[in-house]
A and B are shown apart, each in its own frame.
Chain A
Amino acid sequence: MNKKAGTAKYKVVIVTLIKIIVAVIMFSPIIWIISGGFKTLTEFTTSTDIIPKKPTLENYIYVFKYSNFFKYFRNTVLLMLGTGVGTLISSSLVAYPLARMDFPGKNMFFALIIATMMVPGIALIVPQYIMFGKFGWLDSLLPMIVPAFFAHPYNVFLFRQFFRSIPKELDEAAIMDGCSHMGVFFRVLAPLSKPTYATIAILSSVFWWNELTQPVFYINGDKWRTLTIALMTSFMYIKGNTFVINWPTIMAASTLMIIPPMLLYFFGSSYLVEGIKTSGLKG
């Protein structure tokens, strides 16, 4: 008995140790980014100390004063809001009949939605680039915001899974009372699905805040540049010198860019677990 308790304790120590090592590994790039933002260029390129010898704010001053940081920030927020609102409305509407109604072609459409989930967006980006060019949408946020209003397959899938977990008796009762399907959706299912709406809002916001690929293809000029492209262009070089990469400025801008998703996760994590848990993969 005693020996067993001893091995159990031993196991706890080992597991905790592994947990801490993994945590240090996972957090190391973030520490590196934050520390780098407070170093001078000379210190950044000569020393690997985590705590800067002479902490400086010059990189933050550069980002705020000498770059269009606030414009890039505004563009990124507009992108997040536009795509988020679009996908929440359209994806949940599309998921409703797939979860709750019977109609011809239902299984085929659901299979098609799953199939389109598997198409990597990057494979279609060149034809879409030509198409959006014809619409005159290049160099704007429209190529990313407009498609969001026409349902995103992965989000449709998550909504459908969650709707199915809500007892069907609830909407059958509402229909008995003379509620239309629109009524069932807006008064019964949508209010009960707040965790899923919150989950998808968080996942979508984080995705678009971080998205680099589509802005790289669609946006060329400075006017609609997002923060991710700005990191590769505007913050990258010292004024008038395109040969030396200004690493500390990149790190300072990166520090500012990692704060919003961290806050979103921090305040939304309870929703995240709830929203994904109930969207289990059975059935």
Chain B
Amino acid sequence: MKEKGRKNRHLANNLTAYGFMLPWFIGFICFTAFPVIFMFFVSLTNRRLNGISQFIGFTNYKNIFASSTFRNSFKVTIFFTIVMMIVTAVWALLMAFLLNYKQRLNGIFQFFYFIPSVIPSVALAYAFRTMFGKDAGLFNALLSSISGSNVRINWLYNERTVYPVIFFITLFTYNTGQMMLIFRSGLNDVPVDLYEAADIDGAGFWTKFGRITLPMISPVILFNTVTGSISALNGSFALLYPLTGDTGDPNKMTQVLSLLIYNEAFSNYKVGYGCALSVILFLLACVFGIALFGISKKYVYYEN
């Protein structure tokens, strides 16, 4: 009798828990699991944007791997994701470091550092398109006044300058601001007595940074690099689409997979092909996630 009562209470407890989680169950099935399976099925058809489709097996994948546009896009995506992840993480850590150096007016500095990351990426993209423009661009004007000659470089359409400029622009994205906030709280959590002990031992700045700060904030670094690589895969569309278009100018050098998917599905109406590309992007994200966790097991220091 008593046993049964406890069992019932146990059941009621579990049902309450599942009840709380019901929104997620529904959301997971409808908006994640189903689209993943559905995406795979559509990738085996030649579905067009108007909905007409026919089963064609793995033809889409064969075409994808034979396509030089895809190979280029795949390389650009990996390059873009890794470099953007590193550049934004380093910049965010630098800003967090500067802000953790307590001073008056720190609030104002934090406002200036964080504010570009909360404005719409499309507004930012247009600002930089004109700042790095050939005529009446701020950057050319600055270089002209420093060098004394008339600099007229079309930064975003020049194959040699487009990458540095784009990675510079990624410093202003949402992701960088987020990382900076998380790094700040991570830096604040490092016990002060560790630094004091190191000071007594006469350790310099770089020794303290390499031996104390980095190991202590390693979980935060891992978190930021994982979320950073996902948002690089995800957020590059909102930055690059208004910046260089879905054709990835110049010469497809900035056509990451998300732009190629949009281009194929909505400009060329090849939805089935677009789904096959999406499957590849999905798998790529899985590889990134697993790889980063694999690396972290080896290097990350957990306090508990």
Residues of A within 8 A of B (CB): 12, 15-16, 18-19, 22-23, 26-30, 32-33, 36, 44-48, 90, 93-94, 96-98, 101-104, 106, 109, 112-113, 115-131, 133, 147, 149-151, 156, 180-181, 185, 206-207, 209-213, 216-217, 227-228, 231-232, 247, 250-251, 254, 257-258, 261-262, 264-266, 269, 272-273, 276-277, 280-283
Contact = CB atoms under 8 A, between A and B. Distances in A.
Contact of A94 (B24, B114, B121, B265): B24
A254 B242 CA distance: 13
A276 B185 contact: yes
Interface in B111-143: 111-116, 118-124, 126-128, 130-131, 135-138, 140-141
B115 A30 contact: yes
What is the interface of chain A mostly: helix, strand, loop, or mixed?
Answer: helix
B206 interface: no
A19 B122 contact: no
Task: Say which size band chain B's interface belongs to.
Answer: 35 or more
A128 B35 contact: yes
Contacts of B241: 212-213, 216
Interface of B: 13-14, 16-18, 20-21, 23-24, 26-28, 30-32, 34-36, 38-39, 42, 47, 51, 94-95, 98, 101, 103, 107, 109-116, 118-124, 126-128, 130-131, 135-138, 140-141, 171-172, 174, 181-182, 184-186, 188-189, 219-220, 223, 226-227, 230-231, 233-234, 237-238, 241-242, 258, 261-262, 265-266, 271, 274-275, 278, 281-282, 285-286, 288-289, 302-304
A18 B98 CA distance: 8
A194 B90 CA distance: 32
Given A27-B112, A101-B13, A258-B120, A96 B230 contact: no
A63 to B, nearest CB: 13
Contacts of A264: 118
A113 B24 contact: yes
A19 B219 contact: no
A192 to B, nearest CB: 17
Contacts of B120: 209-210, 212, 227-228, 231, 254, 257-258, 261
Contacts of A28: 131, 138
A119 B285 contact: yes
Contact of B16 (A181, A251, A254): A181
A281 B18 CA distance: 25
B37 to A, nearest CB: 9
Given A94-B24, A119-B282, A27 B138 contact: no
B24 A90 contact: yes
Contacts of A133: 51
Contacts of A247: 126, 130
Contacts of A127: 35-36, 38-39, 42, 275, 278
Given A126-B278, A127-B42, A212-B122, A27 B115 contact: yes
Closest 5 CB pairs of A and B: A150-B27, A254-B123, A120-B234, A97-B17, A103-B17
A128 B32 CA distance: 9
Contacts of A277: 185, 188
Contacts of A125: 261, 278
Given A94-B20, A122-B234, A126-B261, 9 more contacts: A28-B131, A46-B135, A94-B23, A113-B24, A119-B282, A122-B258, A206-B174, A213-B234, A276-B182
A281 B222 CA distance: 10
Contact of B223 (A212, A213, A269, A281): A281
A192 B214 CA distance: 33
B226 A32 contact: no
A269 B42 CA distance: 45
A19 B109 contact: yes
A117 B138 CA distance: 39
Contact of B131 (A32, A266, A269): A32
Contacts of A122: 233-234, 237, 258, 261, 281
Contact of A181 (B20, B282, B286): B20
B119 A262 contact: yes
Contact of A29 (B13, B17, B18, B127): B127
B237 A265 contact: no
24 contacts: A23-B113, A26-B112, A28-B131, A29-B116, A29-B124, A29-B172, A48-B136, A94-B20, A101-B13, A101-B16, A103-B17, A113-B24, A117-B230, A120-B233, A128-B31, A130-B38, A149-B27, A150-B31, A185-B20, A231-B122, A247-B130, A261-B120, A273-B184, A282-B302
B234 A22 contact: no
A261 to B, nearest CB: 4
B101 A15 contact: yes
Contacts of B122: 212, 228, 231-232
A210 to B, nearest CB: 4
